[in-house]
Structure 1
Amino acid sequence: MQIIEPSETYDVCIVGSGAGGSMAAYVLAQAGANVVMLEAGGPWSEEDADMLTWTYESPRRGAAIETRHFGEFDACDGGWSLEGEPYTSAEGTRWDWWRARMLGGRTNHWGRISLRFGPDDFRGKSLDGYGDDWPISYDDVAPYYDKVDELVGIFGSQDGFYNEPDGRFLPPPEPRCYEKRVMRGAESIGVPVLSSRLSILTQAKGDRAACHYCGQCNRGCSVGANFSAGRVLLRPAQATGNLTLVTHAMAREVLTDREGRASGVSFVNTQTLEEQQVRADVVVLAASACESARLLLNSASERHPNGLANSSGVVGKYLMDTVGASASAFVPALASQPTHNCDGVGGMHIYIPWWLYDQHASLGFPRGYHLETWGGRGMPGYGFGGGIQGQNGSLPGDRRGAGGYGRQLKDDYRTLYAARVGFSGRGEMIAREDNFCEIDPASVDKYGIPTLRFDVTWSDAEIQQARHMQMAMREILESIGGEIDEMPTEETQYGISSPGSIIHEAGCVRMGDDPTTSALNEYCQAHDADNVFVVDAAPFVSQPHKNTTWTILALAWRAADYLIDQRKQRNV
């Protein structure tokens, strides 16, 4: 490859334009830093969204395509398999690795579930002996959660529920019909139900309109009502004149000088296949947890023989995802509903928090989970199993007598539509050193960059957690009169998701006070190279059952503030 030398030196080079990278760019550019951002995918903005495209406008009725695994109109280019970008798993293990390839990354497609980690989530080992405590507490992060709430916008209610910290919320939307039934049933058996906490505006904020309830958040929001990094963070960062965006830039390695400090980033232009370089005083990695680990491991040098920031040997280790399991039921009371407006935001209006925090001694597994609910009269389309796809799931009509074609089929579907309710459990995976990714010595991608090999398994703790999820979901579904699907068996590990498939990868470049057992300090700064920071989910010491994005945003803001202070003191 021809190497194109840089023409200038930036203050900061950021790799990755998702939640962490965009937040770092926003804070640093506002502070006056000269920032360059490298994004492996192409440009994208909400003007490119298919938010209001009818499914019948496509011959595929919106079904998945090769580069849009969640549907043709989904806003996120990428997937679990990308042409020319392989990855492998060790024998007997599995990891499903989702990679976004577009400006804004995964923030263009996610559930917008924006839960704060609670005080207990930062000190799990002290409470039950599993994993490790974080080097920071909830009190260290809380001011940044507040800032993210106010900048981005989030709805919810003040509940005062244990280990589920309240935020600075906009008013929540009213629960839908089926959600009200779930609330009554769950509460009748002592299971609490709270308003969802989603980063979707229910009141206008600046030039962003309030949600108009089209329910298509995963397609990208043309009015900016939901959070995506491009609209909320990158647009104002660019307006400062201090941010340079370079798309189609696949990072190859972090360049270092003779002292072992970062001096820039080498990347491959994915359109011309030329190798190019940018020079920067500071390098911030935010490419997603596994991609950031891959970059560090591929950045070996004389001063860093095991990879950059890896004198501890922990880079790539302690890989985590969220534990997932699902259940659903046909609810006769919801059949033959009169046609009514069941719209809402593109996600649930209620959720069930972890309510058995004081009973772990009798449960047979540590930590906890929450339950997300789905159902209703969302945009129909041909979905899974030949049934009707509802708000967030599918209604297998062939199991309820619907079939054939013409009038009978239409009448059956009118009767059955929106009569199915389901839950998706989301639980904590314990961080273990023997769950890891590493460089595969026998594989490179189409850009000549060594690829990753994964070695990840569920422990009995996660499998027993999935079992408990299944029983809890079924008890709630029974409480609302549901006719429940068959219970997954022990042989299928109770229907537990495959590792990686929930797309909450975390760990791999963990933070800690001890440089011999961690790669980063509490400000996401590398112990081995003080001008290297990592601000995606890679620094996480644990991965609670809460979704990762709000904590990524808060920690990235905290790290950027620290970097600004250190630059002012000329320490970095």
Structure 2
Amino acid sequence: MNNHYDIVIIGTGAGGGTLAHRLAASGKQILLLERGDYLPREPENWDSREVFIKGRYKAPEEWYDKHGKPFHPGAHYWVGGNTKVYGAILFRLRERDFGEVRHHGGISPAWPLSYTDFAPYYTEAERLYHVHGHRGSDPTEPPSNDPYPHPPVSHEPRIQRLSDDLERAGHRPFPLPVGVMLDEADPENSRCVRCTRLDGFPCLVDAKADAHVVAVRPALLHPNVTLVRRAKVERLETDPTGRSVSQVVVERDGERETYSGDIVVVSCGAVNSAALLLRSASDKHPGGLANSSGVVGRHYMAHLNTAMIALSREPNPTRFQKTLGLNDFYWGADDFDFPLGHIQMLGKTDGQMLKAGAPKGTPKPILDYVAKHAIDFWLTTEDLPHPGNRVTVDRAGRIQLSYTDRNTEGHRRLVHKLEQLLPMLGCRERTLPSTVTRDERIPIAGVAHQCGTVRFGDDPTSSALDVNCKAHDLDNLYVVDTSFFPSSSAVNPALTAMANAMRVGDHLLDRLGATTRQTAGAQS
């Protein structure tokens, strides 16, 4: 078997999957290595007990926190990566997010590139991932001459009233940019059925625009693209000079396999990409691969996130709830000169989800009442990079994620702003224990927004990657996922990972002398 390829891509999520789609039509021999398998399409996809209580689709592994205490991360190893269960909210970073931003808790550093460098790729990523929205309705939205590819997803009646109430209170709610294959003008032929299972669930009808469905699947229609599943990459080995990755060492079904590529791309997610580079330490790279700067694994960010359940005075029968956002506090408030963050809707809570977090023995009538009246919010504040928030691996290769909260004052104020608004939004003052409803920070296991561990930059002494996401230390190694982020902003990172994969894809096509580019119009 010839195990050499022009390009080897490790991981099939928002970064790796999108990159494969970008490169597929080039004719170059492309290998995709995915440690998981295809996520099975089965009734349990939409069973909240299976998904949230039993963790049916989560990775069956443990990581360790800064105290050495084990926890089960919310990581999902499937073709398509974490996008198989993401909420498909696809924001561009704000234009100011690419510059230095001063927060109450410290400085969010500037990127080596500007919004202008990413703007055309954002447009293409929105097309590929079927983003619905309304340009200009979000007051913080960066400039664009291109409308969203699809009209905004309509609000159901209770969420429309929520939007109307926010406007009456002087705020500017807007329709969330959602990546779904929905056609409200032609529901008979719409793949999306507007169910309650967008957020946190796999999509049983393949209507969520995840990396598997919209990127990997059409890429595999090209004979030059090969996917190997159940292939966990254990380490990368270099040639004698230490300047090029010469072998990709894989454990697959209990056997060792090796592959090689002219170009090797790591797209495993911010935690696992850093861990792979650290596990690949050698005499030439004693601190880990691509780590002469010492930054690999450092500056881990995952947003300060809170899930809040408000109790509507009237029942909330909404099914597809994730349609409304609020950015009025993104850059600050009248009583606070620093950024607070972003508010959006969560998927609709049901009794099983509540039961998962409620004290044992909570009466079923209480859970049923809360589920019937719940309006679910997701609040996000920018997480600031700090070298002490880091990924490390021990001699056995086990992952430790050391993390300490920072920038908490802005997040506390954002939560308080929403709490103050609730009475004006037709919601009851809290009458049930907070353990039954929710107003809680997402813990360290919530790694959905992970980023920052292999940052890019102009200076090889303070960054691991150059502006094309190539390792400063190696000639043929790239990292193409959210690891490259120097800062996290306060919006979902997925679209930036997708846009960057397209940007790096064009660089690789130029480097390899390919003349044909896969465009977003040639999807599925």
Normalised TM-score (structure 2): 0.87
Equivalent-residue separation in structure 1 for 2:57 and 2:68 (angstroms): 29
Deviation at 1:382, TM superposition (A): 3.5
Does the alignment pair 1:373 with 2:333? no
Deviations 1:311-341 (A, max 9, x none): 0000000000011123333232x14x8xx7x
Deviation at 1:284, TM superposition (A): 0.3
Superposed, which structure 2 residues align to 1:1-80 within 5 Å? 7-44=2-39, 48-50=41-43, 62-64=48-50, 68=51, 70=52, 77-79=57-59
Deviation at 1:186, TM superposition (A): 1.9
Contact 1:317 1:508 in 2 (8 A): yes
Amino acid at match of 1:157: H
Contact 1:192 1:355 in 2 (8 A): no
Deviation at 1:38, TM superposition (A): 1.1
Does the alignment pair 1:147 with 2:94? no
Change (3 A) 1:134 1:127: farther
Indicate the residue corresponding to 2:152 in structure 1: 172
Indicate the residue corresponding to 2:266 in structure 1: 285
Contact 1:40 1:248 in 2 (8 A): yes
Does the alignment pair 1:428 with 2:382? yes
Deviation at 1:222, TM superposition (A): 4.9
Does the alignment pair 1:353 with 2:323? no
Change (3 A) 1:359 1:420: closer
Change (3 A) 1:95 1:546: farther
Instruction: Give unpaired runs (5+ residues) of structure 2.
Output: 516-524
Larger radius of gyration: 1
Equivalent-residue separation in structure 1 for 2:166 and 2:130 (angstroms): 29
Change (3 A) 1:473 1:127: closer
Indicate the residue corresponding to 1:408 in structure 2: none
Contact 2:248 2:260 in 1 (8 A): yes
Equivalent of 1:307 in 260, 275, 288: 288
Amino acid at match of 2:32: M
Equivalent-residue separation in structure 1 for 2:71 and 2:488 (angstroms): 16
Superposed, which structure 2 residues align to 1:491-506 within 5 Å? 495-501=440-446, 503-506=448-451
Residue identity over aligned pairs, in percent, reads 27
Contact 2:192 2:208 in 1 (8 A): yes
Equivalent-residue separation in structure 2 for 1:325 and 1:174 (angstroms): 25
Amino acid at match of 2:114: S
Amino acid at match of 1:309: A
Contact 1:328 1:485 in 2 (8 A): no
Which SS does the other structure have where 2:208 is aligned? Answer: coil
Deviations 1:420-450 (A, max 9, x none): 3232211210111111111224xx2xxxxx1
Deviations 1:7-34 (A, max 9, x none): 3311111111111111111112221110
Superposed, which structure 2 residues align to 1:522-541 within 5 Å? 522-541=467-486
Contact 1:122 1:134 in 2 (8 A): yes
Superposed, which structure 2 residues align to 1:158-307 within 5 Å? 158-159=135-136, 161-165=138-142, 168-203=148-183, 209-217=190-198, 218-260=200-242, 261-269=244-252, 271=253, 273-307=254-288
Instruction: Give unpaired runs (5+ residues) of structure 1.
Output: 1-5, 56-61, 389-393, 404-411, 445-449
Which SS does the other structure have where 1:319 is aligned? Answer: coil
CA RMSD of aligned residues (A): 3.3
Contact 2:26 2:514 in 1 (8 A): no
Contact 1:159 1:194 in 2 (8 A): no
Contact 1:90 1:454 in 2 (8 A): yes
Amino acid at match of 2:82: R
Equivalent-residue separation in structure 1 for 2:248 and 2:45 (angstroms): 39
Contact 2:249 2:256 in 1 (8 A): yes
Amino acid at match of 2:399: L
Does the alignment pair 1:105 with 2:105? no
Change (3 A) 1:416 1:521: closer
Equivalent of 1:470 in 398, 407, 415: 415
Change (3 A) 1:487 1:363: farther
Amino acid at match of 1:434: G
Contact 1:325 1:469 in 2 (8 A): no
Change (3 A) 1:184 1:502: farther
Which SS does the other structure have where 2:248 is aligned? Answer: strand
Equivalent-residue separation in structure 2 for 1:495 and 1:224 (angstroms): 31
Deviation at 1:216, TM superposition (A): 2.7
Equivalent-residue separation in structure 2 for 1:15 and 1:327 (angstroms): 36
Normalised TM-score (structure 1): 0.80
Contact 2:53 2:353 in 1 (8 A): no
Equivalent-residue separation in structure 2 for 1:255 and 1:427 (angstroms): 38
Equivalent-residue separation in structure 1 for 2:83 and 2:309 (angstroms): 27
